[in-house]
């Protein structure tokens, strides 16, 4: 069902052979936890991106850091790629075996190793998902705020420098990962960072690994910050006469320094899809879905200020989600947006954009792009972590109609170049993966990308760590 990947997106596909000796060695070591069954390999050879490629040669289900190190050492011996796999929610083809190789499934490494409530930190294995983590720390009165739409693993979220709806207040994985354990390309186990809140001790290897998309090492342990559950939480919906009105409201809220916890733009298409999928019954107009965290007094202050700003832009009176259940229902609908959209056009695939611009440029970037996609006739939805200047168009293409992909890619091209001209980035939170390698060069410049390549070559001389992602070598 997947569309074949256009050639220009993959300039350097070169499947490497996986020698039988390696497969034999892995099977001897891991027995039934090394699978070569087609169905298992296929499941590990795709993600939520719209690309189709041959699956990896084998999948190893690792249960410990030592085991990961063993797999990497064996793969290194044969110069065969290794691709860490969490739960497969990447949107950018990160998990695809573009050069063949071994998928290391990390989902069995899913223990919360230690909760340090008094320091607001928690250490987990990489297969722990964000919802699992929040479930396991619920009794402490603390929570982990980073929430990409999918229930991704913390390993995957670290590898892609993920964020989500709470990032406007709590930051992204960049700000929230304190320390890592990593298996390097030679199969060595290293630690980066400590549980101290800050440090000036040498190169920031933690942040080099965060966002490196598996190309520099396999993340096997993660220490992240957690936060006290706010004394008061209020969520509200505010409908607007236009996307522009909603965006102008957001810009003003951020520029006023309101410590809003979440401010999500949902366009009328997305509202319609969410209504159908999650039975919400919302007015099908552009809206902001907001959340305020703090003491009761501060939440009240924030909400009043934002309501005032919204009214100035034609926003309706806030509709409050008064119970925790109602709040959860709204945010679940927001997180299920991607799937609601897929359901709205049976058989379609979604191509998700991910530009992020300085907040003052948000209206310029967004409104022209809305006009373009409206004119194209491609069905789409628009959602955005607009408080961060980050938004996603989802172009819903029919994979059987190559022209639709071409139109969608052309729209994305225009959008990205617009965002870059406005001092933004091609990817706010999804990562580069396979899809944005050209954009990265345009954004960062040849010199900076060459510096990334130099680091990659130095740390992974055999190019076995998730090769073919971020940049060509």
Task: Name residues contacting its own copies, limited to 141-160 (CB under 8 A).
Answer: 160
Q: Does 172 bind its own copies (CB under 8 A)?
A: yes
Q: Does 164 bind its own copies (CB under 8 A)?
A: no
| Interaction residues for its own copies, span 119-138 (CB under 8 A) | 119-121
- When the beta carbons of 52 and 459 are compared against its own copies, the nearer one is 459
- Of 162, 282, 309, 408, which lies in the binding site for its own copies, with binding defined by CB under 8 A? 162
CB-CB contact of 101 with 16 (8 Å): yes
Q: Does 195 bind its own copies (CB under 8 A)?
A: yes
Q: Does 457 bind its own copies (CB under 8 A)?
A: yes
| Interaction residues for its own copies, span 280-299 (CB under 8 A) | 294-295, 297-298
CB-CB contact of 236 with 303 (8 Å): yes
- Counting beta carbons within 10 angstroms of the beta carbon of residue 374, is it exposed (0 to 12), middle (13 to 18) or buried (19 or more)? exposed
Minimum distance from residue 63 beta carbon to its own copies (Å):
22
Minimum distance from residue 384 beta carbon to its own copies (Å):
13
Q: Does 436 bind its own copies (CB under 8 A)?
A: yes
- Of 56, 379, 431, 467, which lies in the binding site for its own copies, with binding defined by CB under 8 A? 431
Contact window for its own copies (CB under 8 A) among 22-30, 196-204, 232-240, 329-337: 196-204
Determine the Cα–Cα distance for residues 177 and 380; give it in Å rounded to an integer. Answer: 34
Beta-carbon contacts of 363 under 8 Å, excluding residues fewer than 6 positions away, are 244, 247, 248, 251
Determine the Cα–Cα distance for residues 372 and 364; give it in Å rounded to an integer. Answer: 13
| Interaction residues for its own copies, span 337-396 (CB under 8 A) | 354, 356-361, 388-390
What are the φ and ψ backbone dihedral angles of 426, each rounded to 5 degrees?
-75, -20
| Interaction residues for its own copies, span 222-241 (CB under 8 A) | 227-228
Contact window for its own copies (CB under 8 A) among 28-36, 115-123, 318-326, 400-408: 115-123
- When the beta carbons of 152 and 357 are compared against its own copies, the nearer one is 357
- Counting beta carbons within 10 angstroms of the beta carbon of residue 146, is it exposed (0 to 12), middle (13 to 18) or buried (19 or more)? buried
Determine the Cα–Cα distance for residues 113 and 6; give it in Å rounded to an integer. Answer: 43
- Of 13, 132, 143, 175, which lies in the binding site for its own copies, with binding defined by CB under 8 A? 175
- When the beta carbons of 58 and 69 are compared against its own copies, the nearer one is 69
Minimum distance from residue 300 beta carbon to its own copies (Å):
9
Minimum distance from residue 180 beta carbon to its own copies (Å):
10
Q: Which residues pair with 123 in a beta bridge?
A: 114, 223
- When the beta carbons of 61 and 144 are compared against its own copies, the nearer one is 144
End-to-end CA distance of the chain: 30
- Of 9, 407, 452, 472, which lies in the binding site for its own copies, with binding defined by CB under 8 A? 452
Minimum distance from residue 59 beta carbon to its own copies (Å):
26
Minimum distance from residue 51 beta carbon to its own copies (Å):
18
Binding mask 2-21 for its own copies (x = CB under 8 A): --------------------
- Of 37, 113, 317, 451, which lies in the binding site for its own copies, with binding defined by CB under 8 A? 451
- Of 20, 203, 375, 377, which lies in the binding site for its own copies, with binding defined by CB under 8 A? 203
Beta-carbon contacts of 413 under 8 Å, excluding residues fewer than 6 positions away, are none
The total number of residues written for the chain in this structure:
473
Q: Does 1 bind its own copies (CB under 8 A)?
A: no
Task: Give which of 388, 380, 451, 373 is closest to 418, Cα–Cα.
Answer: 373
| Interaction residues for its own copies, span 37-76 (CB under 8 A) | none
Contact window for its own copies (CB under 8 A) among 45-53, 74-82, 269-277, 443-451: 443-451
Q: Does 308 bind its own copies (CB under 8 A)?
A: no
What strand order describes the sheet that includes 82-85? 34-35, 58-61, 102-105, 82-85
Where are any strands of DSSP class E within 325-473?
A: 349-352, 380-385, 390-397
- When the beta carbons of 332 and 421 are compared against its own copies, the nearer one is 421
Buried b (16+ CB within 10 A) or exposed e, 38-77: eebbebbbbbbbbbbbebbbbbbbbeebebbbbbbebbbe
- Of 2, 255, 322, 421, which lies in the binding site for its own copies, with binding defined by CB under 8 A? 255
Site size toward its own copies (CB under 8 A) is: 87
Beta-carbon contacts of 159 under 8 Å, excluding residues fewer than 6 positions away, are 84, 94, 210, 211, 212, 213, 214, 219, 431
CB-CB contact of 355 with 436 (8 Å): no
Q: Does 201 bind its own copies (CB under 8 A)?
A: yes
- When the beta carbons of 45 and 211 are compared against its own copies, the nearer one is 211
Minimum distance from residue 1 beta carbon to its own copies (Å):
27
Q: Is 216 helix (H, G, I), strand (E, B) or coil?
A: coil
How many contiguous H segments (helices) and E segments (strands) does the chain have? 16, 20
- Counting beta carbons within 10 angstroms of the beta carbon of residue 173, is it exposed (0 to 12), middle (13 to 18) or buried (19 or more)? buried
- When the beta carbons of 335 and 436 are compared against its own copies, the nearer one is 436
């Amino acid at each position: 069902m997947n569309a074949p990947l256009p050639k220009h997106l993959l300039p350097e596909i070169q499947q490497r052979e996986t020698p039988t000796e390696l497969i034999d060695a892995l099977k001897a070591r891991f027995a039934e936890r090394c699978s070569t069954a087609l169905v298992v390999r296929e499941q590990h050879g795709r993600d939520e991106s719209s690309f189709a490629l041959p699956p990896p040669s084998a999948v190893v289900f690792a249960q410990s850091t030592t085991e990961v190190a063993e797999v990497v050492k064996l793969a290194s011996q044969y110069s065969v790629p290794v691709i860490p796999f969490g739960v497969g929610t990447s949107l950018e083809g990160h998990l695809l075996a573009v050069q063949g190789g071994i998928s290391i499934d990390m989902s069995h490494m899913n223990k919360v190793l230690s909760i340090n409530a008094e320091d607001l930190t928690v250490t987990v294995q990489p297969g722990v998902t964000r919802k699992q983590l929040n479930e396991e720390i619920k009794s402490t009165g603390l929570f982990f705020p980073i929430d990409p739409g999918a229930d991704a693993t913390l390993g995957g979220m670290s590898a892609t420098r993920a964020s989500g709806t709470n990032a406007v207040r709590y930051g992204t994985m960049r700000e929230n990962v304190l320390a890592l354990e990593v298996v390097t390309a030679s199969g060595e186990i290293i630690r980066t960072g400590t549980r101290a809140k800050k440090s000036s001790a040498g190169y920031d290897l933690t942040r080099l690994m965060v966002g490196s998309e598996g190309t520099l090492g396999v993340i096997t342990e993660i220490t992240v910050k957690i936060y006290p559950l706010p004394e008061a939480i209020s969520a509200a919906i505010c409908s607007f006469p236009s996307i522009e009105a909603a965006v102008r409201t957001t810009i003003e809220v951020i520029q006023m320094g309101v410590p809003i916890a979440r401010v999500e733009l949902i366009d009328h298409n997305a509202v319609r899809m969410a209504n159908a999928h999650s039975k919400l019954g919302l007015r099908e107009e552009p809206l902001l879905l907001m959340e305020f965290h703090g003491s009761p007094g501060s939440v009240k202050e924030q909400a009043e200020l934002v309501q005032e700003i919204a009214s100035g832009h034609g926003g309706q009176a806030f509709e409050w989600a008064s119970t925790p259940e109602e709040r959860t229902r709204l945010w679940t609908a927001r997180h299920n947006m991607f799937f609601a959209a897929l359901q709205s056009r049976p058989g379609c695939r979604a191509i998700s954009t991910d530009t992020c611009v300085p907040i003052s440029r948000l209206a310029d970037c967004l409104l022209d792009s809305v006009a373009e996609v409206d004119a194209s006739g491609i069905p789409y939805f628009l959602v955005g972590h607009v408080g961060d200047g980050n938004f996603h168009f989802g172009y819903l293409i029919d994979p059987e109609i190559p022209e639709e992909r071409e139109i969608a890619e052309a729209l994305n091209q225009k959008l990205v170049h617009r965002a870059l001209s406005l001092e933004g980035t091609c990817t706010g939170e999804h990562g580069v993966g396979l899809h944005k390698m050209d954009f990265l060069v345009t954004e960062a410049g040849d010199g900076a990308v060459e510096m990334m390549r130099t680091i990659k070559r130095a740390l992974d001389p055999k190019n076995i760590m998730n090769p073919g992602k971020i940049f060509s070598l």
